[in-house]
Structure 1
């Protein structure tokens, strides 16, 4: 903010010089307000048109004092403003204000805390799904490298004000992807304190830290080291299976996907079995699991009945999944034959 204080100081300085100059010429040269102001401006800016000039000894002496004072203040102001433009600080300020305005309009977005390797992978997935998000990162080099046209807040994610600036009160989720478990615990605790309804997913490196994160308010904890180890073992033991899953779920795969769909209360599917719904033939998707309350029904059979508020986990093409989602959330879709 120092450079902007310089602009304010320069503006006030020019205003004071012009005011003093106008009064001085009115007193010493007996000029009217406009002519005094005109003479002050052409003197301070060293224009010197020659149409109005001091003629009295007092006016000339006053001008000898006014010229170096006015030129110095004007030069200081012009130099400060030019520095803002040349160094890009002015455009950065304008861009920052626009970004803050966009963030103030966000609702149900996700806050990504940390732009390291894990955070960047999270960012890619959210972008592919078209989910709005705000990045929180204190490392300026990482931000400069990856911010592009994305919304971000430069600051410490463990500080309340930083999360508030990212719109945590209106956010639906927060992903704590910092490398330190202690930081992620503090972020989870802070996030729940600022928004008790927010869903918090946290990264963890040490197994003994998992319980602490849950106590701090994290809804889901992901041990990246454990997942990485399991993946490496499976790549050795069952390489073909892992390769097949990679093809299905790779980041840039726009064809296949997995979707979680909640059965709406008014949906015609509520109370019907999977056989009656005829999901595979009508929509070309496969129901791989059903979550009911806190229980998972894996490998559901055709006779399993769907109830309202069930979370259906389905696999299929992106287009088929969208049609299936509309069917489960709208009335009378499945009953149409």
Structure 2
């Protein structure tokens, strides 16, 4: 997927997203926060306006598209991309996971695989930030940040049951 970005002086920014079928989605973000969404049959076609949204509505639509409200595929892992190769991911810890029962410091997760645990959801408690003494327990949901390859390595510490 290729995204083209261009400045619109006095207006804001324009983004063109190449879709799999050759069509393009065009999003104009105004300096005021308003968004206009257009479609194009191809790179050289004229744009057709699909809809317009306020800043607040556009952000709400964005969180829905990102999957913050609903993930259509049942998985133990949720992923949010921060940049081209940096992700925040959520992983469930099973009783069979290699790191279950170990403290974060003893597990040496950052040194071994390169990800950092930034939060732990344990029942109704959110542990943020966890310390090196925080023990990882079965049933915990770990929120980690790292690049794609490091996250894949981290999954191996959790065992096959945690992979999505």
The TM-score, its normalising length taken from structure 2, stands at 0.49
Higher RCO, Cα 8 Å, sep 6+: 2
- Structure with a larger share of its residues in strand: 2
- Structure with a larger share of its residues in helix: 1
**Is the radius of gyration larger for structure 1 or structure 2?**
1
